[in-house]
């Protein structure tokens, strides 16, 4: 068909209504599908959407982003044709070094977007709502900021010129308005240091951000604003109301104030001028500010504590003028010039319920800096006057710079403290008294030239009284006269004096006088006397974490100067007095024990402190002390000076465990039903003490030991505690000790002791001393006592237990009577020897004398004799620190008591039976460990000794038979022959050798003797 014909036909309406109907239906279906998709997609694919978003965030954000797909919504119907996207309970949490801290969180986030703008060049956002947002910005001292959470992306290489054009994506987004409801914002920058906190922030704003130049319109209301700079709270919990129209131009680079007011409490400021952000990172500004309202009441609202719910009912009058400006460049090295001027005329204010007003308030003050150098700031308080009821205060102040503070100051006034507290009431507190001041100062402060302003000051207080409802005691009859003067400006000429300082608390007076002069060489003269109830004082002046009780009475006099103190000429610092304490108690949350002093009395002079009496407790320990302390002034004020003294120390109980540091090591969870052992720390001996302590203590607790009846001398010097003739009872034994405990290297404390011990329980020593457990484990089964002269030295571990590898010791141990219970060691020996023992398997030890040494981790026992069963046994050997045994046991055992292994050995040597009473030497080697002993025959020596024993037995038997024959022989030559037989080595050896081959040695010996006699008679008959 010809196209012209088609259009002609179409124009003539040849398209039927049926075709049009189908087109409309198709279009409607598409629209319905699109709308349905917009509603269904977020629901059907919400988990997939969340997973995709989380993947993108994980790649780009170094933070934990918390949100739930169930809290995401997308709606086309609530604001059609706008799309409304919502997200609830959304938050961003930091990672190290701000682990777990919230950077941003919002209860409800809602964005409204024009649907059709998504198809155009500009995305139009009609509204953004943040409901209950939390913003917490934090910067550390090194500049690390918690908002720096973006993961760096490596830059892609730039395209080569001519290789083609790089397509760029531009975003054109317009925002109609935004709103913040109930926001909480904290900016805490430790690098400045500066902190700003806004509570209950309500904010509305609008502006076309896509324009080159536009007006940003904002309205802000904050219930509470707090500003802290360098630890000082400059704005405290003030309300803020700000409405502003700010012209923004030059690509967000310049901000011009058009219509704006900022209201802090009732004080309103307006701004005019501009602030520009420069390309080098600095700022250029020219801003003027002023207070459009001239009411003094608005300025009063800034005073801390004055602005309350009743502020509206305060009576005020007077006018003010407040203005200032900031002009110039600001960067890290430069400040702009600034100035501020405040003038108050004929002002007054009065609380409605109080009878007295503060009136005649006049002030004219200006702060000016013309060049931005902070040192060149001038503070000029030209005049200041106010009347506190009938009490006037006048002041002037001029400070010309902040380098040497060239100043001219004058303050003069009288204050009735009762009237003052009625004008500025502090709930629960009562002040009374008449205070006067007259102060003038003029000149510069220059520490290098020892210069200060000339000054003259006189102050006094009469009939003073301080009472707080929080504490039951008042400070009464407070009065003093004080004066300070310096007429030349030289630090050496400063003179200050406080006369007749008196304070009475609950009927207890305290008096003092002080003269102080010469700032170049501090010189003082102080006298003080009176009593203080510490509990009452700490209720008036609380001490955090501490409690004090007790009555202190003192009479103190001290005078001197800093030069003498620094030159250590303590004889030029006359200090004397007396101090007594009763009912003292000190409780500290950081100490595991309390300190009490039932009564103490001390007197002192420049040379020493004499402790006339001291009765008190430290934790569970009681102590009674008398003595003296010398060189205490040098000790208090000097470097590494030594405190010397002699003390007589008596106590019923001294619990040293309370003074040890408990070291708790938690490596795994404790098993239920088991007890956790306490590890004690090293008790250090101070290096700067030189003390002799003569002690007598009924009971001493140290670790898990209890010492009784301890007495002797302890010398503490140079970090070492030396014990002289110290005696005590421990584990049923009596100890006498000399030696030292050395903590000069506190990481490696040493000990070196000579011990004389009588009747120490062997079994209890095993339970108590790790050295015994490691080197003499068999002591666990020994009932009895040991006495010893023992020398021992080595190192201690951090838990105050001996480092066993470092032990060196030697001494003699004496066991008078003891029993050794059945043990694996004795059972293993009996398996070889069948030693006779008691029915219950016990072995008796009696009159044992043992010499032992410990060195290089080994206990060496020199040969000593002990009776095992019925037989004397010689024992010697070594026990290693790892529990290894290497011992030798030597004894003589009847052949009938030999074990099967021994019996076989003897039979092989003799070729037949041996009589049961033949004493066979036995030598046993004992190896293995205490719990797994391994005895063995020392075979090489055993064969030789067993053979010799059998020969010796045969010789003895020959002698016995020959002796019997001799008695029956009458011939002299026969007797001589028998005598030679009895005494001759050659004959005896021959007989012994023959007898050893006979089954019956006795008969063989008799037959040999008879043969010899017959031969004798034959020779005689021939002759």
Rounded to whole angstroms, how far apart are CA atoms 549 and 43? 71
What pLDDT, on the 0 to 100 scale, is given for residue 7? 41
Across the chain, what does the average pLDDT equal? 80
Res 441: pLDDT: 95
Q: Which residue has the tokens 């704003």?
A: 205
CA distance 123 to 372: 45
Under DSSP, is residue 882 helix (H, G, I), strand (E, B) or coil?
coil
pLDDT at 21 over 60: no
Residues 6+ apart with CB under 8 A from 793: 750, 751, 752, 753, 807, 808, 809
Label residue 641 by pLDDT band (50, 70, 90): confident
Inform me whether the pLDDT recorded for 170 exceeds 90: no
DSSP string, 265-306: TTEEEEEEEEEEE-TTS-EEEEEEEE-S--BHHHHHTTSTTT
The first and second tokens of residue 923, run together, are 């030598």
Q: Could you give the CA distance from residue 151 to residue 93 in angstroms, rounded to a whole number?
A: 15
- Give whichever of 80-84, 194-198, 957-961, 963-967 has the largest mean pLDDT: 194-198
Residue 265 is predicted with a pLDDT of 85
Cβ contact 702:710 at 8 Å: no
User: In the chain, what percentage of residues exceed pLDDT 90?
Assistant: 29
Contacts of 508 (CB under 8 A, 6+ apart): 530, 531, 532, 533, 551
pLDDT digits (tens, 9 = 90+) for 955-982: 555 555 555 545 554 555 445 544 554 4
Phi, psi (degrees; rounded to nearest 5) at 571: -70, -15
Most confident listed range (230-239, 477-486, 699-708, 788-797) = 477-486
Q: Which residues contact 791 (CB under 8 A, 6 or more apart)?
A: 753, 754, 755, 809, 810, 811
Say whether pLDDT at 184 is over 90.
yes
Joined tokens for residue 639: 């470097």
> Quick one: pLDDT at residue 774?
81
Which of these, 430, 496, 438, lies nearest to 468 by C-alpha position? 430
Q: Are 217 and 206 in contact (CB under 8 A)?
A: yes
Q: Which residue has the higher pLDDT, 306 or 411?
A: 411
> Is the pLDDT at 324 greater than 90, yes or no?
yes
Q: If we measure between CA atoms, which residue out of 700, 699, 708 comes closest to residue 683?
A: 700
Q: Are strands 495-505 and 508-517 parallel, antiparallel or unpaired?
A: antiparallel
| Contact predicate 135/185, CB 8 Å | yes
- Residue range 219-258, pLDDT digits in tens: 999 999 998 888 888 788 889 999 999 999 988 889 999 9
pLDDT category, 648, cuts 50, 70, 90?
Answer: very high
Reported as a pLDDT band with limits 50, 70 and 90, residue 835 is low
Calculate mean pLDDT across residues 188-200: 90
CB atoms within 10 A of CB 695: 19
pLDDT at 347: 93
User: How many C-beta atoms lie closer than 10 Å to residue 267's C-beta?
Assistant: 20
3-state secondary structure of 320: strand
Among residues 299, 284, 220, the alpha carbon closest in space to that of 253 is found at 284
- pLDDT above 70 (res 838): no
Residue 991 burial class via C-beta count within 10 angstroms: exposed 0-12, middle 13-18, buried 19 and up: buried
- Residue 484 pLDDT > 70, yes or no? yes
Reply yes or no on whether the pLDDT at 667 is more than 50.
no
Q: Is residue 909 helix, strand or coil?
A: helix
**Interior CA angle at 788 toward 784 and 790, to 5°?**
140
Query: 1022 CB contacts (<8 Å, ≥6 apart)?
Result: none
Q: What percent of the chain has pLDDT over 70?
A: 77
Spatial distance between the Cα atoms of 681 and 787, rounded to a whole number of angstroms:
31
Residues 290/325, Cβ–Cβ less than 8 Å: no
HSE-up of residue 724 (Cα within 13 Å, Cβ side): 9
Report whether 488 contacts 456 (CB < 8 A): no
Q: Is the pLDDT of residue 996 over 60?
A: no
Q: What stretch of H or E contains 230?
A: none
Give the pLDDT of residue 930.
81
- Least confident residue range of 157-166, 301-310, 507-516, 526-535: 157-166
- The model's confidence at residue 488, banded by pLDDT at 50, 70 and 90, is very high
Say yes or no to pLDDT of 363 above 70: yes
Burial class, 439, CB count within 10 angstroms (exposed 0-12 / middle 13-18 / buried 19+): middle
Choice between 174 and 871, residue whose per-residue pLDDT is larger: 871
Q: What pLDDT sits at residue 913?
A: 57
- Of the spans 247-256, 377-386, 484-493, 768-777, which averages the highest pLDDT? 377-386
Whether the CB-CB separation of 1022 and 978 falls below 8 Å is answered with no
């Amino acid at each position: 068909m010809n196209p012209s014909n088609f259009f002609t036909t179409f124009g003539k309406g040849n398209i039927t209504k049926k075709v049009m109907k189908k087109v409309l239906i198709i279009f409607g279906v598409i629209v319905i599908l699109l709308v349905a998709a917009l509603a269904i997609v977020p629901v059907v694919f919400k988990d997939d959407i969340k997973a995709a978003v989380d993947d993108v965030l994980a790649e780009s954000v170094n933070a934990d982003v918390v949100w739930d797909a169930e809290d995401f919504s997308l709606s086309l119907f609530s604001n059609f044709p706008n799309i409304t996207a919502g997200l609830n309970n959304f938050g961003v949490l930091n990672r190290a070094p701000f682990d777990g801290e919230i950077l941003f969180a919002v209860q409800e986030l809602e964005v409204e977007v024009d649907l059709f703008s998504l198809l155009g060049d500009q995305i139009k956002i009609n509204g953004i709502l943040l409901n209950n947002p939390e913003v917490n910005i934090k910067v550390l001292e090194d500049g690390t900021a918690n908002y720096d959470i973006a993961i760096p992306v490596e830059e892609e290489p730039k395209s080569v010129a001519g290789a083609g054009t790089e397509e760029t994506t531009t975003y054109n987004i317009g925002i109609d308005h935004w709103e913040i409801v109930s926001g909480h914002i904290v900016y805490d920058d430790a690098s400045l240091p500066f902190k700003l906190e806004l509570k209950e922030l309500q904010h509305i704003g609008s502006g076309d951000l896509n324009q080159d130049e536009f007006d940003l319109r904002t309205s802000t209301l904050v219930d509470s604003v707090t500003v802290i700079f360098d630890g000082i709270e400059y704005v405290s919990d003030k309300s803020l109301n700000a409405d502003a129209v700010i012209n923004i131009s030059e690509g967000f680079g310049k901000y011009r104030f058009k219509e704006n007011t900022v209201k802090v409490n009732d004080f309103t400021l307006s701004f005019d001028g501009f602030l520009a952000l420069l390309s080098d990172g600095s700022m250029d500004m020219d801003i003027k500010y002023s207070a459009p309202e001239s009411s003094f009441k608005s300025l009063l609202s800034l005073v801390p504590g004055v602005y309350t719910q009743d502020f509206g009912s305060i009576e005020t009058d007077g006018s003010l003028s407040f203005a200032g400006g900031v002009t110039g460049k600001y960067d890290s090295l430069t400040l702009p010039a600034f100035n501020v001027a405040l003038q108050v005329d004929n002002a007054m204010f009065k609380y409605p319920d109080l009878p007295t007003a503060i009136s005649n308030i006049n002030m004219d003050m200006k702060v000016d800096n013309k060049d931005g150098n902070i040192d060149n700031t001038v503070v000029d308080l030209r005049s200041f006057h106010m009347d506190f009821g009938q009490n006037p205060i006048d002041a002037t102040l001029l400070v010309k710079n902040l380098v040497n503070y060239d100043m001219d100051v004058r303050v003069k006034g009288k204050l009735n403290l009762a009237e003052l507290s009625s004008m500025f009431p502090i709930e629960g507190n009562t002040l009374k008294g008449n205070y006067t001041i007259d102060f003038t100062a003029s000149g510069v402060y220059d520490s290098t030239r020892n210069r200060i302003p000339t000054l003259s000051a006189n102050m006094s207080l009469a009939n003073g009284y301080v009472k707080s409802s929080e504490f039951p005691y008042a400070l009464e009859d407070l009065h003093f006269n004080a004066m300070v003067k310096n007429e030349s400006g030289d630090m050496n000429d400063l003179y200050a004096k406080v006369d007749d300082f008196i304070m009475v608390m609950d009927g207890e007076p305290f008096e003092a006088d002080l003269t102080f002069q010469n700032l170049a060489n501090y010189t003082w003269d102080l006298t003080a006397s009176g009593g203080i109830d510490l509990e009452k004082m700490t209720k008036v002046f609380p001490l955090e974490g501490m409690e004090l009780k007790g009555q202190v009475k003192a009479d103190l006099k001290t005078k001197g100067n800093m030069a003498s103190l620094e030159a250590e000429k303590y004889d030029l610092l006359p200090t004397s007095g007396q101090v007594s304490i009763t009912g003292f108690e000190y409780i500290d949350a950081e100490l595991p024990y309390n300190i009490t002093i039932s009564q103490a009395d001390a007197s002192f002079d420049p040379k020493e402190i004499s402790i006339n009496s001291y009765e008190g407790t430290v934790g569970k320990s009681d102590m009674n002390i008398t003595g003296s302390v010398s060189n205490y002034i040098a000790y208090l004020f000097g470097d590494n000076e030594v405190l010397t003294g002699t003390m007589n120390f008596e106590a019923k109980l001294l619990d040293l465990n309370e003074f040890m540091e408990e070291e708790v090591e938690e490596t795994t969870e404790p098993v239920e039903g088991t007890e956790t052992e306490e590890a004690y720390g090293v008790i250090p001996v101070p290096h700067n003490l030189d003390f002799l302590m003569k002690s007598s203590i009924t009971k001493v607790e140290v670790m898990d030991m209890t010492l009784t009846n301890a007495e002797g001398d302890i010398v503490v010097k140079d970090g070492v505690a030396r014990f002289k003739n110290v005696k005590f009872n421990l584990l049923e034994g009596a100890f006498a000790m000399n030696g030292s405990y050395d903590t000069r290297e506190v990481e490696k404390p040493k000990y070196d002791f000579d011990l004389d011990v009588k009747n120490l329980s062997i079994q209890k020593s095993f339970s108590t001393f790790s050295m015994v457990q490691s080197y003499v484990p068999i002591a666990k089964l020994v009932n009895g006592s040991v006495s010893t002269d023992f020398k021992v030295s080595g190192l201690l571990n951090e838990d105050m237990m001996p480092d066993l590898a470092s032990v060196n010791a030697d001494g003699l141990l004496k066991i008078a009577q003891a029993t050794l219970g059945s043990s694996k060691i004795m059972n293993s020996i009996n398996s070889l020897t069948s030693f006779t023992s008691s029915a219950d398997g016990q072995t008796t030890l009696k009159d044992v004398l043992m010499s032992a040494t410990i060195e290089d981790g080994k206990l060496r026992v020199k040969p000593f004799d002990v009776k095992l069963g019925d037989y004397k046994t010689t024992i010697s050997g070594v026990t290693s620190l790892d529990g290894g045994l290497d011992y030798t046991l030597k004894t003589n055992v009847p052949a009938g008591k030999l074990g099967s292994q021994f019996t076989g050995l003897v039979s092989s040597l003799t070729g037949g039976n041996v009589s049961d009473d033949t004493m066979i030497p036995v030598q046993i080697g004992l190896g293995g460990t205490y719990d797994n002993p391994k005895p063995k025959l020392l075979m090489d020596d055993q064969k030789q000794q067993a053979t010799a024993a059998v020969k010796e037995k045969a010789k003895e038997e020959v002698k016995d038979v020959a002796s019997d024959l001799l008695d029956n022989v009458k011939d002299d030559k026969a007797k001589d022959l028998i005598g030679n037989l009895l005494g001759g080595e050659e004959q005896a050896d021959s007989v012994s050798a023959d007898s050893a081959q006979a089954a019956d040695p006795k008969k063989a010996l008799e037959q040999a003797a008879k043969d010899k006699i017959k031969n004798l008679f034959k020779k005689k008959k021939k002759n």
